[in-house]
Amino acid sequence: MNIILASGSPRRRELLDMAGFSFEIIPADVDETADPALSPDQLVAHLSEKKAFHTRDMLKRQKAQNKHDAAVVIGADTVVAIDDLILGKPKDEDDAFDMLSRLQGRAHTVFTGVTVTACKADKTLTFVESTKVFMRTLTESEIRAYMATGEPFDKAGAYGIQEKGAVLIERVEGDYFTVVGLPLCRLSLILNEF
C-alpha cells in the first residue's frame, strides 16, 4: 500500500517509521485556525479531514497522478483541552508559559483526530482518540527551565511527552501514542480496511 502522510510533523513521521510503515511525506498547507464553535473532538476531526483532503486533492490535480492512484493519505491533528479551553501550539513565550501554568498539577485531555482517504476510490474514514494526561505540580522556575529547551513551541499544550517533557508527566490514562500525535493501533486497523 502506498501511504502518504499529509503532515510535516517529525513525531508522526517517527511513529510511522517505528511501526514499520513505508510512506511518503507530502504536508498539507492549510489554515489550522480553531473554530470556537467546535468541541475538541470535532475540531481535530475537522482539521485532520482538511489536511488529508488538501493533499489528496492536490495529488489528483497533478499530471503524474497515476503514481498516486493507489495511495491512501493520512491527515492528523492534535489538541490539548482543559477547563473547556482548547490549547494548540503556543503563539509565543507568554502563551507557552500560560499553557504550562494552567496544565501543571492537573489532569487534561489530549485529542488526536485522524483521517485516512483513498486517492482514487471514494473512501474516507475519520476517527478521534482521547487520552487523559496528569502533569505534576511545577514551580515557575521549572516551567521557565523547560521553556528554555525550546521544546514547547511546536507542540499542542506546550509540551512534548516523548521528549524532555516526559519528566513533567505523572501518568497517562489511555493511548500514549494519541498524546504523541498518532494513535498507531487504531490507525493500523483502519489501514487494513483500504
Residue 95's closest CA among 27, 32, 155?
155
Give pLDDT tens digits for 118-170.
Answer: 988 789 999 999 999 999 999 999 999 999 999 999 888 999 999 899 999 99
Residues of the chain with pLDDT under 70: 63-68
Angle CA 3–24–78, to nearest 5: 75
Could you say which of 3.90.950.10, 3.40.50.150, 3.40.50.2020, 3.40.50.300 is the CATH number of the domain covering 2-191? 3.90.950.10
Per-residue pLDDT at 191: 93
Per-residue pLDDT at 64: 53
Listed by start position, the domains of the chain span: 2-191
pTM across the whole model: 0.90
Note if 77 is an active site residue: yes
Catalytic residue among 57, 77, 154, 175: 77
The rounded distance, in Å, linking the Cα atoms of 147 and 68 is 41
The residues with which 107 forms a beta bridge, in sequence order, are: 134
The rounded distance, in Å, linking the Cα atoms of 169 and 149 is 17
